[in-house]
């Protein structure tokens, strides 16, 4: 479960940029929260639950909650897609194997190349880290 402050911004990140699909949504107006479930298209039985509380809370940097990890078919294409959606690549895939980005709520998201690492390629090989990951 990941708590989110802005459901629209979180959907733009997890659904539009990362490519997850919404599997179900439950609104609980009496409890003042919404639960939204997302999954990778190839693995819909494994879900990430986004919890949106109607009342604003400060969740801090969220780094202390750990991170989510997703295996991708082509790490360079995944990072390029994220960039097209305005997502900063905090730790570029210089090694062709691993990258990190952060969600709108500052949750670290690790991207891992499926199978063997890809050969180092530009612009990723010389791209420095940006911010925290």
Active site residues: 110
- Type and span of the H or E element at 36: strand 33-40
Q: How many helices (H) and strands (E) does the chain have?
A: 2, 7
Which residues are CB-neighbours of 80 under 8 A, at least 6 positions away?
none
Biggest alpha carbon distance in the chain? 52
Collapse the DSSP code of 22 into the 3-class scheme (helix H, G, I; strand E, B; otherwise coil) and give the result.
strand
Question: What is the C-alpha radius of gyration for the chain, rounded to an integer number of angstroms?
Answer: 15
Q: What is the DSSP letter of 81?
A: H
């Amino acid at each position: 479960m990941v708590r989110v402050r802005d459901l629209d911004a979180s959907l733009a990140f997890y659904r539009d940029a990362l490519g997850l699909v919404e599997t179900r949504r439950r609104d609980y107006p009496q409890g003042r929260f919404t639960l939204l479930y997302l999954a990778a298209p190839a693995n819909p039985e494994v879900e990430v639950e986004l919890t949106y509380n109607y009342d604003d809370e400060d969740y801090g940097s969220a780094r202390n909650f750990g991170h989510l990890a997703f295996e991708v078919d082509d790490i360079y294409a995944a990072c390029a897609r994220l960039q097209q959606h305005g997502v900063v690549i905090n730790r570029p895939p210089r090694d062709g194997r691993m990258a990190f980005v952060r969600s709108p709520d500052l949750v670290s998201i690790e991207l891992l190349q499926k199978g063997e690492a890809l050969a180092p390629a530009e612009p990723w090989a010389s791209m420095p880290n940006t911010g925290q990951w």
